[in-house]
Amino acid sequence: MKRFWGFAGRVTVAHVVTYIAVGALAYPLLTREFFEGSNALAARVMRTPAEPALWVHVTRWMLPFQVLRGMLIAAVLYPFLDAFVRWSYGKRLLSLAGLYVVLGQWASTVAGSGTIEGWLILRPEFTSPDVVMKAIGEGLVQGLALSAWVSRWVMSLPGYGSTEGAPSGAGGGPTRR
């Protein structure tokens, strides 16, 4: 159980930091127009800062919900931890990014501007190439940053950073494939 909590804590920190940091950077660079102004697409379906009475919910629950999301991600990834530590950094990075970005975003059954489901059923103003590329860009950068961080941190978990305490069957330490 201690091993799970160490892994879950690291995944959660990586998720919270990358989610908030990439979102904070993407807002002024990519997505502000969706939240502000006369053609604010997001305001049609999301809480925005333009409506403080609704926005307070976001500010109050952002951190707890992102911690919950990080713990859920960790719980889903944890059964694969022994496989991840045997893989090279590059294989871990690509595998985690594929799971997070492809399954969690692009192939999600939730209709969003950056999902196949969204392209299928959302109105055209939510799926124009400009909107889609900005939505995909933010999710891709966050997913790659999260995957890179978790892939690096996996090797510093107790029992995985050296041959001492390596999982049984690992041949004296993690094997790189």
Q: Please write the tens of the pLDDT for every residue from 46-72.
A: 998 888 999 999 999 999 999 999 999
**Amino acid in position 117:** E
CA angle 147, 151, 156 (to 5 degrees): 145
Contacts of 42 (CB under 8 A, 6+ apart): 31, 34, 35, 48
User: Given this model, what pLDDT does residue 169 score?
Assistant: 42
According to the model, what pLDDT value does residue 157 have? 76
pLDDT value of residue 159? 67
Please check the confidence at residue 165 and state whether its pLDDT lies above 90. no
Instruction: Name the band, by pLDDT with cuts 50, 70 and 90, for residue 73.
Output: very high
Helices (H), 27-164: 32-35, 52-77, 81-86, 89-97, 116-121, 129-154
Question: pLDDT > 70: what percent of the chain?
Answer: 89
Tokens describing residue 131 = 């909107």
- Give the Cβ contact number of residue 82 at 10 Å: 14
| CB 22, CB 31: distance < 8 Å | no
Query: Can you read off the two tokens belonging to residue 62?
Result: 């952002």
> Coil, strand or helix: which one is 14?
helix
Mean of per-residue pLDDT scores for the chain: 88
Cα–Cα distance for residue pair 60/40, rounded to 1 Å: 23
Mean pLDDT of 111-121: 93
Confidence of residue 5 (pLDDT cuts 50, 70, 90): very high
Question: Residue 82 in contact with residue 167, Cβ under 8 Å?
Answer: yes
pLDDT tops 60 at residue 161: no
